[in-house]
Structure 1
């Protein structure tokens, strides 16, 4: 007895034994770390995940009621992903690292649902571009992790308060020791 492809049950069993069973939307799954695109709430590219700054949008996606799992490509260094893993744990979202020579594209981190999700944000916009549109000065944008004086901190909080995770506000001790604000240095 032959199936729709003209192969017998024995031929099908032999093919599946040698090459595995046919996979639905294999190309799509290889692009999204083994997941169907319809399950992806949001994702970061390899370049984005390797930036010094974190993407607060990932934290928001992990808080989504449909968030089920955080998937990280296996070849990404731990120092780039530890904070994202911490956020997933805090939100009670599972996480795992996946590696496959068949993965294609530059998706390095994805927040996914168990099934198709009702709201997809897709690729999270580049941080620098997003902050420039909000009017944050380039000195502040390019120096994530830096210390900011009260004025620069106020600029950041007025224009992009979600970014406070990427900076430190200068205190009295910093002023006494002469530590300067990166945002105020020659613009």
Structure 2
């Protein structure tokens, strides 16, 4: 008896034994770290994960009731993902690292649901572009992790308060020691 592809049951069994069974939407799953696109809530690219700054959108998305798992591509260095893992643990979302030579594209971190999710946010916009649209100065954008004076801190809080996780506000001790604000340096 032949199937729709014109192969017998024995031929099908032999093919599956040699090459594995056919996989549904394999190219889609290879793009999204082994998951179907309809399960993906949001994701970051390789470039975004490796930035010095964190993406607060991931922290917010982890609070989504449909968030079931944070998947991280296996070749990403732990220093780039440790904060994302901490956030996942805090929200009770499982995480794991996956690696496959079949993964295609630049998705490096994906937040997924158990099943198809009701709301997909897709790719998170590039941080620099997003902050430039909000009017944050380039000196502040380019120097995530840096110390900001009160004026620059207030600018950041006014235009992009979600970014406070990526900066430190200068205190009295910083002023006494002469530590300068990176946001004001080239104004």
Same fold (TM over 0.5): yes
Q: How far off its partner does 1:6 sit?
A: 1.4
| Alignment match, 1:76 | 76
| Alignment match, 2:7 | 7
TM-score by length of 1: 0.99
| Alignment match, 1:185 | 185
| Alignment match, 1:101 | 101
**What CA RMSD, in Å, does the superposition of the two structures yield over aligned residues?**
0.6
| Alignment match, 1:142 | 142
Matched, 1:23 2:28: no
Matches of 2:184 and 2:22, distance apart in 1: 59
| 1:63 aligned counterpart, secondary structure | coil
Matches of 1:182 and 1:59, distance apart in 2: 26
Q: Residues 94-153 of structure 1, C-alpha deviation per residue, up to 9 Å, x if partnerless?
A: 100000000000000000011111111100000000000001110000000000011110
Matches of 1:155 and 1:24, distance apart in 2: 49
Matched, 1:128 2:151: no
Which stretches of structure 1, 4 residues or more, deviate above 6 A after TM superposition? none
Q: Residues 46-100 of structure 1, C-alpha deviation per residue, up to 9 Å, x if partnerless?
A: 0000000000001111111110100000000000000000100001001000000
| 1:72 aligned counterpart, secondary structure | strand
Q: Which runs of 5+ in 2 are unaligned?
A: none
Query: What is the total number of aligned residue pairs between the two structures?
Result: 187
| Alignment match, 2:116 | 116
Q: Which runs of 5+ in 1 are unaligned?
A: none
